[in-house]
Copies of this chain bind each other. A is one copy, B any other.
Amino acid sequence: MNNMLQPGATIGILGGGQLGRMLALAAHKLGLKAHIYCPDPQSPAFEVTPHKTVADYEDEVALKNFAEAVDLVTYEFENVPAATAQKILELNVPLAPGTKALATAQDRLTEKSFIEQAGVPVAPFANVESQGDLEEAVQTIGLPAVLKTRRFGYDGKGQLFLHKPEDVPGAFKALGENPCVLEGFVAFDREISVIIARSANGDITAYDPAENVHQNAILHTSTVPANISDHVAQQAVDAASKIATSLNYVGVMGVEFFVSDDNAQLVVNEIAPRVHNSGHWTEAACVISQFEQHIRAIANWPLGDTSRHSNVVMTNLLGENIAKVTQPVSPGAMVHHYGKYEVRPGRKLGHINQISPKID
């Protein structure tokens, strides 16, 4: 990881969704090539580069050919199978962020234990591998609480909110009897996130925290600046830095926080070892986007400037809202369409960034 990739080198990207697509576009701006690996032949990222592999993540022959065609591998999603990551490394191709970040983010129990050990506050949590475990955990943590599968949850999937004692029986079964964690409910009035980048030599840069609003458990808007004190903002950046350093992380990471009602304390909700939806605003309000910053970090280029020239609100375009992209553009607004042409309710198809003059 200590060699700098030169323009003309090829970055392999596992995953062909909008994040992989935007990473490829950012790589192109730096004169780097992009090779997308994804099992879905309809992947939108395939439309922005001539280099692709359509194969399952477990296909060892395809992985070998992919590894031979690229100089470095990164990924757009945290559920890259451990065996896939291992295979890349065995083929002597660097993988960034590394396997520790992947393993940590793939399992909520590992993730929360890790964050706690890094000295960063998380909500109280307990391991739940049976209905008995759950009942015991409720005794310790109390209600309300949230039961979450340890693996493969996203956008509110694989979660069950336990309001009162009657919600507890059957809850473990309702989530498919998969290994879970029970998380204590955090009374918060806002959610924020920090997009942070760390380079191989330990340099860290962070974008300003964004304030995130979810609808139906899917991100709706990210607003910057967030309505938080400078002290909380600094705490959030410090916490994200601690996590990145403890993971020996290389690349861009998103860290989501809950901010308590008194706007004085925060706990980490979760980490994403990749570019993050709540960082799409950087594309319009900073000269170097999170996508470019990720490429810079993994290519071992000096990190770019994360300062913000404008205030901004990013709004996701889900499902039919994507029709807004061809409508008149307000002053200060830009649209981004992900090149996904099948419109399904709730599907992330694009976003709008609305900037305005910076007033701090």
- A28-B25, A47-B49, A49-B50 known; A302-B287 Cβ under 8 A: no
A7 near B339 (CB under 8 angstroms)? yes
Assembly CA distance A48 to B48 (angstroms): 5
Which of A139-147, A149-157, A247-255, A325-333 interfaces with chain B? Answer: A325-333
Residues of B within 8 A of A339 (CB): 7-8, 28, 31, 33
Q: Indicate whether A284 reaches chain B with its CB closer than 8 angstroms.
A: yes
Indicate if A305 sits at the interface (CB-CB under 8 A). yes
The smallest C-beta distance from A2 to any residue of chain B, in angstroms, reads 14
Q: Which of A29, A339, A350 has the most CB of B within 10 A?
A: A29
Could you tell me which residues of chain A, from 1 to 58, have a CB within 8 Å of some CB in chain B?
A: 4, 6-8, 21, 25, 28-31, 33, 46-50, 52
CA gap between A28 and B44 in the complex, in Å: 10
Q: Is the CB of A325 within 8 A of B47?
A: no
Complex: A322 Cα to B322 Cα, angstroms: 38
Q: Given that A49-B50, A325-B30, A341-B8 are known contacts, is A330 also in contact with B302, CB under 8 Å in the complex?
A: no
A47 cross-chain contacts in B, Cβ below 8 A: 28, 33, 49-50
Nearest chain B residue, comparing its CB with the CB of A292: B334
A325 to B329, CA, bound (A): 32
Closest to A310 in B: B309
Total contacting residues, chain A, CB less than 8 A: 50
Q: Does A335 contact B (CB under 8 A)?
A: yes
Interface pair A287/B284, CB less than 8 Å apart: yes
Q: Does A355 contact B (CB under 8 A)?
A: yes
Q: Residue A338 at the B interface, CB < 8 A?
A: yes
Bound CA span A284–B8, Å: 23
Point out the residue from B49, B287, B307, B332 that lies within 8 Å of A305, measured CB to CB.
B332
A9 to chain B, nearest CB (A): 10
- Give the distance in Å from the alpha carbon of A21 to the alpha carbon of B50 in the complex: 13
In Å, the complex CA distance between A4 and B327 comes to: 11
A294-320: which have CB < 8 Å to B? 301-305, 307, 309-310
Q: Which B residues are in CB contact (< 8 Å) with A325?
A: 7, 30-31
* Chain B CB within 8 A of A87 CB: no
A330 (CB) vs chain B CBs: closest residue: B305
Cβ-neighbour of A326 out of B4, B33, B353, B355 (below 8 A): B4
Enumerate 26 A-B pairs (CB-CB under 8 Å) in ascending A order. A7-B325, A7-B337, A7-B339, A21-B28, A25-B25, A25-B28, A28-B47, A30-B336, A31-B325, A31-B338, A31-B341, A47-B49, A49-B49, A50-B52, A284-B287, A287-B332, A288-B329, A302-B327, A304-B329, A304-B334, A305-B330, A305-B332, A305-B333, A305-B334, A307-B331, A309-B309
